Amino acid sequence: MAKKFMFVNRKAPYGSIYALEALEVVLITAAFEQEVSLAFLDDGVYQLKKGMMPKGIEMKNFGPSYRALPDYDIDKFYVERESMEARGLTPEDLLVEVEVLSAQELGQLMEAQDVILSF
């Protein structure tokens, strides 16, 4: 019986290893055919920013990898509205289709999960 897994991403990409590690675990979890969703709040919203070019800081560009996730049957991307707006970002700035939720809606969705993985 599939469980509901939610990855909660709260860190900006590249300044720490959290975003990349989360993505690796997401890809691994996909192999177990669970019901996986990804939530982005606080600086985690920056993980989805279009147009990343980390060549200059000699890091792997993992932005495009989020767009492969639908092939892994992962297509639920939730973004908290308050976090997104505080950063001057809109859904058009993001590299995948997202569902924008209020803080309260996201909190309720978190309550409904079987497993939460925090990054």
62 part of the interface to other proteins, by CB under 8 A: yes
**Could you tell me the smallest distance in angstroms from the CB atom of residue 112 to other proteins?**
25
Site string for other proteins, 33-52 (x = CB under 8 A): ---------xx--x--xxxx
Instruction: Determine the interface stretch with other proteins among 1-9, 23-31, 96-104, 110-118 (rule: CB under 8 A).
Output: 23-31
Counting contacts by CB under 8 A, is residue 17 touching other proteins?
A: no
DSSP state string for 43-62: GGGGGGBTT--GGGGT----
**CA dihedral sign, ordered 72, 106, 93, 16:** negative
Tokens (6 digits) for 8 = 């909660």
Q: How wide is the angle at C-alpha 97 spanned by C-alphas 101 and 65, nearest 5°?
A: 120
Nearest CB to other proteins, comparing residues 4 and 49: 49
Contact (Cβ atoms closer than 8 angstroms) between residue 70 and residue 26: no
Question: Which 3 state secondary structure label does DSSP give 7?
Answer: strand
Instruction: Give the footprint of other proteins on this chain (CB under 8 A).
Output: 11-16, 24, 27-31, 42-43, 46, 49-57, 59-65, 67-68, 71-72, 86-89
